[in-house]
């Protein structure tokens, strides 16, 4: 069995132009797998659209849609904690006893270099060579200090089960998309039982460069919005128009924002996965800001009618149905 372990960095992909969700997908594709495996979901989770609420944005954004187009099987091997309250209970308990609290603080201090590192714009190479080793040292020290149990949320035990599940899958060549938290123990559990392939080098593409610009637009509060809007307008897709509208309204150009988003809504805005809910919710708000309440209500109800809507978009639409959005 040959495995390529690809790290998932959650929302940090939005901040890493050299390792964004397009780069993750391209890394998976370059590995030429027979099947896709992830440690952050269970196979049965894919039965309902709600799986897209995962914090691992690369999965719903690029990887799983790509895998479906390639007709590749997708397996989730996530192993739940045996006690969902024990980890937080331990932390509360430890804070009440000075000796235990001191040990916990000493272990947690190992995360400080990691927190500093994560604030930088990281590449896949740096994640592999710097982030994962720091996590490894932290997890080893935590387990050495407290054993694998409530203090670790049974991380080692759970990853051991995940590794065994992977080894039992009937494929010779797989990509395993693992959360950074899972990777240190996962590597240790698999290295003597399977061939761990080196991560392929993926060159930047026009799509990945555009993705970086779209990710940057999520911040809205940017130093030179006019320059960013001009760059976004060179990207010929609906998502770019959505971001242009957001930047326009953030800079008090409501009428132009509405015109831009209305134009976008007349096209196919079914992808990426988050866009239908966010676009319709924002469209409703812009209708409210321009005194078009009936149109706003239709847009908000459109959010309700979607098969999948991100939680924030649904909350926005529900609030808009109760009372008109005023911008405050």
- Say if strands 173-179 and 2-8 run parallel, antiparallel, or are unpaired: parallel
Mean pLDDT by 10 residues, the chain (328 residues): 97 95 98 98 96 96 97 97 89 86 91 94 96 96 92 94 97 97 97 96 95 91 89 94 95 95 94 96 97 97 95 96 91
Give me the pLDDT at residue 34, please. Answer: 97
Cα–chain center distance at 116: 20
72 neighbors 33 (Cβ within 8 angstroms)? yes
Residue 140: which H helix or E strand, with range?
A: helix 132-146
Q: How many CA atoms lie within 13 A of 250 on its CB side?
A: 18
Tokens representing 247 are: 């930047």
Q: Are 313 and 278 in contact (CB under 8 A)?
A: yes
C-alpha 236/C-alpha 140 separation (Å) is 48
Sheet holding 173-179, edge to edge: 74-76, 35-38, 173-179, 2-8, 195-196
Confirm or reject CATH 3.40.640.10 for domain 219-322, answering yes or no: no
Which residue ranges make up each domain of the chain? 1-203, 219-322
Strand 35-38 and strand 2-8: the pairing is unpaired
Tokens (6 digits) for 187: 């590597």
Q: For 210-246, write each residue's pLDDT tens digit.
A: 999 999 998 878 888 999 999 999 999 999 999 999 9
Q: What is the pTM of this model?
A: 0.92
How far apart are the C-alpha atoms of 126 and 146, rounded to whole Å? 29
pLDDT tens for each residue of 57-90 = 999 999 999 999 999 999 999 999 999 898 888 8
Handedness of CA 129, 130, 131, 137 (dihedral sign): positive
SS3 241: helix
Residues 6+ apart with CB under 8 A from 49: 307, 308
**Contact criterion met (CB below 8 Å) for 176 and 27:** no
The per-residue b/e assignment along 239-256, b for 16 or more CB within 10 angstroms, e otherwise, is: bbbbbbbbbbbebebbee
Q: Residue 300 CA to chain centroid, in angstroms?
A: 25
Residue 176 bridge partners (DSSP): 5, 37
């Amino acid at each position: 069995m040959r495995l390529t372990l690809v790290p998932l960095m959650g929302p940090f992909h939005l901040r890493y132009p050299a390792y964004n969700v397009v780069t993750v997908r391209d890394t998976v594709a370059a590995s030429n797998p027979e099947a896709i495996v992830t440690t952050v979901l269970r196979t049965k989770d894919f039965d309902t659209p709600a799986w897209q609420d995962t914090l691992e944005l690369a999965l719903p954004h690029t990887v799983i849609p790509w895998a479906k187009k390639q007709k590749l099987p997708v397996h989730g091997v996530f192993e739940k904690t045996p006690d969902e309250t024990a980890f937080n209970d331990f932390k509360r308990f430890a804070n009440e006893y000075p000796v235990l609290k001191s040990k916990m603080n000493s272990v947690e201090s190992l995360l400080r270099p990691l927190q500093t590192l994560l604030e930088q714009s990281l590449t896949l190479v740096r994640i592999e060579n710097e982030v994962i080793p720091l996590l490894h040292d932290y997890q080893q020290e935590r387990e050495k200090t407290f054993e694998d149990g409530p203090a670790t949320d049974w991380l080692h035990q759970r990853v051991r089960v995940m590794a065994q599940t992977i080894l039992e899958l009937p494929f010779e060549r797989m990509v395993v998309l693992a959360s950074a938290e899972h990777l240190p123990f996962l590597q240790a559990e698999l290295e003597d039982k399977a061939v761990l392939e080196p991560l392929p080098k993926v060159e930047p593409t026009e799509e990945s460069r555009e993705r970086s610009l779209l990710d940057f637009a999520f911040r809205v509060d940017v130093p030179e919005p006019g320059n960013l809007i001009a760059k976004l307008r060179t990207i010929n897709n609906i998502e770019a128009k959505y971001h242009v509208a957001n930047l326009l309204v953030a800079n008090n150009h409501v009428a132009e924002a509405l015109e831009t988003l209305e134009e976008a809504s007349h096209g196919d805005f079914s992808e990426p996965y988050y866009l239908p809910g966010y676009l319709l919710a924002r469209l409703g708000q812009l209708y409210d800001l321009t005194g078009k309440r009936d149109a706003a209500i239709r847009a908000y109800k459109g959010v309700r009618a979607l098969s999948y809507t991100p939680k924030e978009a649904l909350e926005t639409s529900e609030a808009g149905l109760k009372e008109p959005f005023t911008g405050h």
